[in-house]
Structure 1
Amino acid sequence: MMLVLALPILLLTASDGTDAATGDYKNIQHLHNLCRLVALNQITTLPGGVSEISPAETEELEKINISLANPEWKTTFATSPQNKKQSRPKCTPPGNTPQCSQQYAKWEDLWVQVHATEDSKKEYLLPKSKLMSQEGRAAAVSVQALLVEAEDIRATFNSYRKAALAHQQGTPQQLIHEAIFGTAMPGDLTKTECAVALTSTRKTDCEGGPGKQALCGTLVCLCGQNNTQNEELCGTAASASGPSSWVDAQKAAIWAPILSVCNKYPTPSPTAEKIHQLIATTLAAAERQNTGGDHITLGESGNDGSCAAATGMGCIQLTDTGSTTASAPTGKLTWKEKLEKAADEIKIHENAAARRQAAIQRIQQLTKHAKHLITALKNSFPDAATQTISTQKPQTKQQSSEVAEECHKHDNKNATCPKDK
């Protein structure tokens, strides 16, 4: 039993010893967290459709509606494309007569579609007797109400969508790209260069705005080597040893290997919840460690919270997240704000997609109800107007006797003759 317990302890001790070695990957966890945010750039599309609900969604309902309309009213409609009223010279351009109106053209188009094939005729056309029966007129009124509701649903969603998806702050992809690379909107979303401008002083950049402007600036501060900081803080691949000084001209040489590592990360789930989760995970590490002086830092810092150039030190100051003194926090983490705005836009997209799906499902339910009504009418019994009803009065007893007597004269009192009672 002691041997079983001793082995994990030994391995843990060995691991701790490796972590404490000079030149180890002190910021590797931060690299991992930040790369998961950089991978958001791989999101090109968002789940769920948010396009306008087209008139095609209510077309089936409209065909049923016009099929149940008064047959006398439909006599002026063409039943083939070549006979459409809108194609006549007097309606080009549309005139003021009813037959030249856009609404008339829409009805006529639907009526032509109803007559387009034998299958559509079989599906939509009913005899006049059924259309003008009480059941037929009731079905027509019901379908009209269903169509009105469906068109209202479509119009309401399209109006909501136009306002909700205005992207006043930018599209999610634009905001994510700016948060990662610092490129102002609208920018080329295919470019991956770090647009954060560095000075010649690591302390100025990593304690000030450049290190907090974009994720690329944060990663350069946490992982980059220069003539003073020469350790592989983020591992051999990300912390390349090439850069010899901290100047803007060396920024690309620092950023390129970091990006090559982050590009290997899988695309995160494109949801608002996931973005907030990744941000929280990234900043939680800063809240638990590397505090000192009057600063909270992300990455390996000096005891006083300094992010100045020093061997084995690479960090940014998060003075916007809190302070150990009574003074107000200063600065802001710009990339965090951009990602949160992107999450807000994605949430709007999610809500719009859900509303669109619900709207289409409701329209489909209304269409199904209308199809049930026209099918029931089609399969109903012939109406009373098609039945022959006798108006003759019943024969009296005297008349019956006369008929019986006449019958007996011809068939010798055959049993099939009516009896004389």
Structure 2
Amino acid sequence: MKARLFKTALILSLSNLATIITVNANDTNTKHAAELDSFCRLLTLTEQAPAKVEPAELDQTAVRTLAAINMSLSKPEWRKQFPTTAEAKSADPEYCKGQNKAANCKEIWQAWEDAAIAAEKTDNLPGKLKLPSSVFSSPLRKSALQDVSALLAEATAITKAYTNKTKPELEAAGQPLRTKLNMAVFGKATKPNSAADACDVDAESDRQTTCTTTKQPSASCTTAVCLCGEQGAQDQKICTNDITATVANWGGGKLNSAFQPIFAKCKQTKTASLTSASLIAAIADFTSRSKQAIVSATAYVIIGTASSSTHACATSQGAGCVDLTPIAGIKAGSTITHKTWLSELEEAAQIIATAEAATQAKKIAESRLHELEKKAAAIYTQLLYAPADVAPSPPTTPKKTDEIPTAMQQSCTKHKNNKKDCTEANNCIWKGGESEKGDCEVNTTKVAEQAKQAGTGEGATSGADPNCGQYTDPENVPRHQEKRRRAKTLFAVGLKANARIPVH
């Protein structure tokens, strides 16, 4: 029994060993698995959209709301010159005809038209309410308009700065970036429809010429074929047994057929999100696999396995490489100016880095615009519930001397030449300056104010609050006082910067 078990175990062990030997035998000639894996991670990374870059368009909802509020605060007689519907807009406004008109007159006029149309819809206004007509006779409206105009001017400046600088940086990370990446990887501007047309590059002259990195158009797909290609004297599978990258002719013709199995294999690779940092890291990982090769007494910088022929990347059994020597500073005869797929990917990484910074600038701009919108909405809301007219209190008129009771006069004149008693006495004022001697008289201003507060002097009104006489319902009085407090607060709200938006 034990003998049978031992025999069975031996047979299984030998079978497993045979299997291992068979698998290893399939990859016996593999030399570039690590290089190709690095290449595939770089390739699949470039096919993604940048992860930390937002669309270029700025959210201008806040700007439109500010413009609508600003227009709502303008005098109705000025506002009526603008249409209230989009259909009524003028393509050639009369206002902009004639001499001495600004070059951007039509642009400004159309912005006013848009604001007037928006102001007609309550959905565009705080609280979804229009201002009552009584507001337009209030001094508060003018103050509110000036403040909102200043806020709108700041919002307009933010938008202009964004349009001139930040937006182009984000737009560059859109289609222009995609075109650059496609050209660097596939040798054509558009993304390939399938693996069969994923390398739009021709071979040239021979393997060593085709595999020189400065050969134009320079594309990474050529590099992959140079690492794995089978043709002529090199017929081994040097990029794993799963990849058969047969080149029909290194002297000419497309390399798409040879690249097809490589591209299909690369699609299986899991990669990171596309950012400027991840792209730079992927480029560095691939180029870090470069090394020196001495062939025919000449030093080359290559990635892959050098040929035993007269050139590092010439056709030779079990060899295949890409020649980086022309872009190796140590071997260059002068400053390197070559454009290659590697330099194009480095430029792409810089475009992404700029767009990532621009995305942060966009978020800051939108945040500030929303802050300005909130301030304008607060001003509008306060005005919405402010009293129709807040008039200043009438000036206090000092009482004339002959209107002051004799007893009061006598109570002060008795302190003549007595500065201390005069200044301590109620309703008296010292006229002797710094001297201890002088006249002591009645403080007429103070007396008049006391009379007004008591409801007996000039300017006094019936009721505790001189502004509440218009209300017959006592319950309305507290509400009116609250409105007055809101009105006073409104005067202090808003920016005092010079507004560039007309104030009417």
SS at match of 1:308: coil
Residue 362 of structure 2 corresponds to which residue in structure 1?
A: 356
Contact 2:192/2:198 (CA < 8 Å) preserved in 1? no
Instruction: Give the counterpart of 2:315 among 306, 309, 314.
Output: 309
Which moves more between the two structures, 45-54 or 133-142?
Answer: 45-54
**Displacement of 1:164 after TM fit?**
4.5
Which moves more between the two structures, 101-110 or 335-344?
Answer: 101-110
Residue 298 of structure 1 corresponds to which residue in structure 2?
A: 303
Residue 275 in structure 1 maps to residue 318 in structure 2: no
Aligned pairs for 1:16-35 within 5 A: 23-35=28-40
Contact 2:276/2:349 (CA < 8 Å) preserved in 1? yes
Contact 2:55/2:171 (CA < 8 Å) preserved in 1? no
Q: How many residues are aligned here?
A: 365
Runs of 4+ in 1 over 6 A off after TM superposition: 18-22, 323-331
Once the two structures are superposed, residues 191-233 of structure 1 have per-residue CA deviations (whole angstroms, 9 ceiling, x without a partner) of 6442332245323433574499221111111111123222221
Residue 158 of structure 2 corresponds to which residue in structure 1?
A: 153
Counterpart AA for 2:229: G
Residue 218 in structure 1 maps to residue 223 in structure 2: yes
Instruction: Evaluate the alpha carbon distance shift between residue 103 and residue 281 of structure 1 in structure 2; reply closer, same or farther with a 3 A threshold.
Output: closer
Residue 372 in structure 1 maps to residue 393 in structure 2: no
SS at match of 1:320: helix
Residue 461 of structure 2 corresponds to which residue in structure 1?
A: none
Under a length normalisation based on structure 2, what TM-score does the superposition of the two structures give? 0.60
Contact 2:203/2:249 (CA < 8 Å) preserved in 1? no
Instruction: Give the counterpart of 2:192 among 187, 190, 193.
Output: 190
SS at match of 1:213: coil
Aligned pairs for 1:224-303 within 5 A: 224-240=229-245, 246-249=250-253, 251-266=255-270, 268-287=272-291, 293-302=298-307
Q: CA separation in 2, counterparts of 1:362 and 1:208?
A: 48
Contact 1:48/1:353 (CA < 8 Å) preserved in 2? yes
Q: CA separation in 2, counterparts of 1:74 and 1:330?
A: 64
Q: CA separation in 1, counterparts of 2:239 and 2:304?
A: 10
Instruction: Evaluate the alpha carbon distance shift between residue 316 and residue 117 of structure 1 in structure 2; reply closer, same or farther with a 3 A threshold.
Output: closer
Structure 1: state its 5+ residue gaps: 1-14, 396-421
Counterpart AA for 1:369: K
Instruction: Evaluate the alpha carbon distance shift between residue 301 and residue 97 of structure 1 in structure 2; reply closer, same or farther with a 3 A threshold.
Output: closer
Instruction: Give the RMSD, CA atoms, in angstroms.
Output: 4.4
Q: CA separation in 2, counterparts of 1:119 and 1:245?
A: 68
Instruction: Evaluate the alpha carbon distance shift between residue 303 and residue 211 of structure 1 in structure 2; reply closer, same or farther with a 3 A threshold.
Output: farther
Under a length normalisation based on structure 1, what TM-score does the superposition of the two structures give? 0.70
Instruction: Evaluate the alpha carbon distance shift between residue 211 and residue 260 of structure 1 in structure 2; reply closer, same or farther with a 3 A threshold.
Output: farther
Residue 114 of structure 1 corresponds to which residue in structure 2?
A: 119
**Displacement of 1:394 after TM fit?**
4.0
Instruction: Evaluate the alpha carbon distance shift between residue 36 and residue 95 of structure 1 in structure 2; reply closer, same or farther with a 3 A threshold.
Output: same
Q: CA separation in 1, counterparts of 2:54 and 2:158?
A: 16
The structure with the largest alpha-carbon Rg is 2
Instruction: Give the counterpart of 1:141 among 131, 142, 146.
Output: 146
Contact 2:307/2:319 (CA < 8 Å) preserved in 1? yes
Residue 418 of structure 1 corresponds to which residue in structure 2?
A: none
**Displacement of 1:161 after TM fit?**
4.5
Residue 93 of structure 2 corresponds to which residue in structure 1?
A: 94
Q: Which has the higher helix share?
A: 1
Contact 1:211/1:316 (CA < 8 Å) preserved in 2? no
State percent identity of aligned pairs. 26
**Displacement of 1:303 after TM fit?**
7.4
**Displacement of 1:124 after TM fit?**
4.2
**Displacement of 1:364 after TM fit?**
1.0
Instruction: Evaluate the alpha carbon distance shift between residue 295 and residue 227 of structure 1 in structure 2; reply closer, same or farther with a 3 A threshold.
Output: same
**Displacement of 1:248 after TM fit?**
3.2
Contact 1:291/1:297 (CA < 8 Å) preserved in 2? no
